[in-house]
Amino acid sequence: MLEGFQRRVAAIPNDLTAPFHSEARQLETELLTIYKFVALSTRRTEDLTQVAKAWETMVQVCDESAKRLNTLVRQHPHCGAESFYDRVLDLRNKCQRLQQMHS
């Protein structure tokens, strides 16, 4: 997911802003899909250690996504991806709370 995002963003001409926004939105959508999968799979898991580990992995995925989005925002400050970066950080914090709750 993240490698595809980075590859697609690198191919966008620097003078266009809408494609950067579109890529940020797609990354957020993919991240939310993974979040939903983790949420559904942990509901059926009784071992709290495994649940905490799943949320820890999700925190790491959010961290990597945020890092890529932050790079995009810094390199192309007018691309409109700042709000996506903020939402990824919000999701990361939620996943971290779930991880801590199950530890």
Q: What pLDDT, on a 0 to 100 scale, did the predictor assign at position 53?
A: 97
Q: What is the 3-state secondary structure (H, E, C) of 55-99?
A: HHHHHHHHHHHHHHHHHHHHHCCCCCCHHHHHHHHHHHHHHHHHH
Taking all residues of the chain, what is their mean pLDDT, rounded to a whole number? 90
Q: How far is CA 67 from CA 45, 74, 90, 100, in A?
A: 30, 11, 14, 22
Token digits of residue 31: 């991240």
Which residues have a Cβ under 8 Å from the Cβ of 77 and sit 6 or more positions away? none
Within 13 Å and on the Cβ side, how many CA atoms surround 21? 8
Q: What pLDDT, on a 0 to 100 scale, did the predictor assign at position 54?
A: 97
Q: What pLDDT, on a 0 to 100 scale, did the predictor assign at position 91?
A: 97
Q: What pLDDT, on a 0 to 100 scale, did the predictor assign at position 17?
A: 78
Q: Split the chain (103 residues) into runs of 10 and give each run's mean pLDDT.
A: 81 78 88 96 94 97 92 81 90 97 93
Cα(86)–Cα(1) distance, integer angstroms: 19
